[in-house]
Amino acid sequence: MNMQQRIEAALAGLQPQHVEVLNESHMHSRGQETHYKAVLVCEQFQGLNAVKRHQKVYATLGGLMQEFHALALHTYTPEEWAVIGQAPASPTCAGGHA
């Protein structure tokens, strides 16, 4: 199982209505799998601000967080996702190759 699949499997613990994990390492590092983007739509995010949502995701990933460099999180409630429908595009890397 590669890192992207391991992240997806761990995030399944939040019982998301939608989960998408993208390996964006090609935009940042040379030949290493270090940068990921996760889009999560989850009922559990209801009433939580962005910081609390991210803390919930970090707690769910646990020790897996130590195995990669960066994870861009886009967290939504089902209602927010119904309006937005997609996460914003990732910016280009500003340097700092891992």
**CA-CA distance, 38 to 52, in Å (whole number)?**
16
Average confidence score pLDDT of the chain: 86
pLDDT at 49 over 50: yes
Amino acid at 7: I
Q: At what angle do helices 3-11 and 50-61 cross, to 10 degrees?
A: 120
- Binning pLDDT at 50, 70 and 90, where does residue 97 land? very low
Residue 57, phi then psi, degrees to nearest 5: -65, -45
pLDDT at 98 over 70: no
Burial of 7 (0-12, 13-18, 19+ CB in 10 A): buried
Q: Which CATH class is domain 3-84?
A: alpha beta
Report the pLDDT averaged over residues 4-17.
Answer: 95
Residue spans of the domains in the chain: they are 3-84
Q: What is the pLDDT of residues 57-88, one digit of tens each?
A: 999 999 999 988 789 999 999 999 999 877 77
Report strand pairing: 70-76 vs 35-41.
parallel
The pTM (predicted TM-score) of the whole model is 0.80
